[in-house]
Amino acid sequence: MIIKKNDMKMKSLILAILLPACLIAGKSQAQSFSFGDLFGQQGKKKKLMAAQVGGIYTYLDALKGGYNIMHHGLDLAHELKGGTFGLHRDYFSSLEQVSPTVQQNPKGEAITKLYQELTQRLNVEISWQKKQGSLKSNELAYLEKVAANLSKLAEQDMTELKNLLTPGKLQLTDQQRLDRMDKRYAAMKDKAAFAASFTAKTRALSQNRQRAKAENEQIQKLYGISKP
- The confidence score (pLDDT) of residue 30 equals 45
Whole-number pLDDT of residue 81 = 58
Work out the burial of residue 144: count CB atoms within 10 Å of its CB; fewer than 13 is exposed, 13-18 middle, 19 or more buried. middle
Question: What DSSP character marks residue 36?
Answer: G
Q: Kindly provide the b/e burial profile for residues 111-131, where b requires at least 16 CB atoms within 10 angstroms of the residue's own CB.
A: beebbeebbebbeebbeebee
Question: How many other C-beta atoms can be found within 10 angstroms of the C-beta atom of residue 34?
Answer: 7
For helices 106-132 and 174-222, angle between their N-to-C axes, nearest 10 degrees: 20
Q: 75 pLDDT band (50/70/90 cuts)?
A: low
Q: Which residue has the higher pLDDT, 43 or 159?
A: 159
pLDDT at 213: 87
Task: Tell me the pLDDT tens digit for each residue of 31-45.
Answer: 444 444 444 555 555
Per residue in 86-112, pLDDT (tens digit) is 665 666 677 889 999 999 999 999 999
Average per-residue pLDDT in the chain? Answer: 77
Locate the domains of the chain by residue range. Answer: 2-95, 100-222
The answer on pLDDT for 139 being more than 50 is yes
**Confidence band of 83 (pLDDT split at 50, 70, 90):** low
Mean pLDDT of 52-75: 56
State the Cα–Cα distance between residues 181 and 110, nearest whole angstrom: 10
Please calculate the CA angle 17-27-40 and round it to the nearest 5 degrees. Answer: 125
pTM higher than the cut 0.85: no
Position 117 pLDDT exceeds 60: yes
The answer to whether 202 touches 135, Cβ cutoff 8 Å, is yes
